[in-house]
Amino acid sequence: MTYSILLIGQHGQVSTYLQRALSKQEGISKQEGMDLIVAGRDQIDLSKPDTVKAALRSFDVDLIINPAAYTAVDLAESEAEAAFAINSESVAEIAAFCAENSVSLIHYSTDYVFAGDAQTPYAETDPIGPTGVYGASKLAGEQAIINSQARAVILRTAWVYSNHGKNFYKTMLALSETRDELTVVADQIGAPTYAASIAEATRQIVSQLRQQGGIKPEQSGVYHFTCQGQTSWCDFAKAIFVENQITKMAVSPIATKDYPTPAQRPAYSVLDNSKLEKTFGVSLPHWGTALAQCAAETASSKDKP
């Protein structure tokens, strides 16, 4: 029997790489009996929570994957209503739909649910404490899913980058075209996570769900889901230039206090991914390995006419 998947969100970073990983051409094959439907915001608009369930009823699927979110961390401070509508109220509707219709749900969340004042990697059971609107809205989404009793896997990721969309990696490459020196924050520590690594690890989970007929009750819950290792934004910037063979950039460290932003960033947001490995036997690569893969993709896209 065909296993049908609905992917919400079309042009986002994670969504783009998920479409590749789950597509019949490049990822899960026809033989595996999977069918992927991608719904853009013209079909499911998460800014209108009261329309979400009706929109979902037009699809007959076994699994919903939701990487769609309000992700503008700084803007969220002045657009709390929009952030909560998309990241919490609509997520509650998706979860209720999944619970009512025995549909499994894979949803993505964030390291911003934590205050960022830890010194060792956060476990899923550690106390949460978002410091801004974005983190609070994503946390409310997590809690709505858990309260819905839907069979759901919530994957908390962090520092997402890729060759697609807006992200730190692309910003660094763009700056290297006009500048030869940069200052970058060095006192925030996390794990840069390539969207393609997220997509590949998700594909492995989806394969298991298909074989076992959905998420088992004991598998429902929150999982930390980042690349391995840790670094600062400043050292990540230096590594981006090294991997892309950009030698002229001089990168100097600055403190967070010298780069003020409307929303506070967690100073430390390394996540312990061992629950993911223990439950699904899945892990993401080390951030340095993934960065090399991303840079190879950058180079190969430049080679294309």
Ligand X SMILES: NC(=O)c1ccc[n+]([C@@H]2O[C@H](COP(=O)([O-])OP(=O)(O)OC[C@H]3O[C@@H](n4cnc5c(N)ncnc54)[C@H](OP(=O)(O)O)[C@@H]3O)[C@@H](O)[C@H]2O)c1
- Give catalytic residues, as residue numbers: 134
List, in order, residues 6 or more apart from 101 with CB less than 8 Å away: none
Distance, in Å, from the CA atom of 231 to the CA atom of 1, rounded to the nearest integer, reads 44
Residue 272 engages ligand X in binding (rule: CB under 6 A): no
- Number of H helices and E strands in the chain, helices first, is 10, 12
User: If binding is defined by CB under 6 A, does position 71 make contact with ligand X?
Assistant: yes
By CB under 6 A, tell whether 188 contacts ligand X.
Answer: no
User: Does 9 contact ligand X by CB under 6 A?
Assistant: yes
Q: Which is nearer to ligand X, 113 or 186 (CB)?
A: 113
# residues near ligand X by CB under 6 A: 28
DSSP β-bridge partners for residue 192? none
Q: Give the Cα separation of 236 and 264 in Å (integer).
A: 20
> Token pair of 291, please?
């960065």
Should residue 157 be labelled a site residue for ligand X when binding is judged by CB under 6 A? yes
Work out whether 297 is an interface residue with ligand X (CB under 6 A).
Answer: no
Interacting residue with ligand X among 158, 227, 251, 271 (CB under 6 A): 158
Copy the structure tokens of residue 273: 């991914």
Q: Which parts of 122-151 interact with ligand X (CB under 6 A)?
A: 138
**Concatenated DSSP letters of 187-228:** S-EE--EEHHHHHHHHHHHHHHHHHHTS--GGG-EEEE---B
State the Cα–Cα distance between residues 271 and 287, nearest whole angstrom. Answer: 13
Smallest distance from the beta carbon of 155 to ligand X, in angstroms? 8
Closest separation between CB of residue 171 and ligand X, Å?
Answer: 12
Closer residue to ligand X, CB minimum distance, 23 or 47:
47
Q: One symbol per residue from 38 to 67: x for binding ligand X (CB under 6 A), - otherwise; what is it?
A: --xx--xxxx-------------------x
Binding interface with ligand X (CB under 6 A): 9-15, 40-41, 44-47, 67-71, 86, 108, 110-111, 138, 157-160, 165
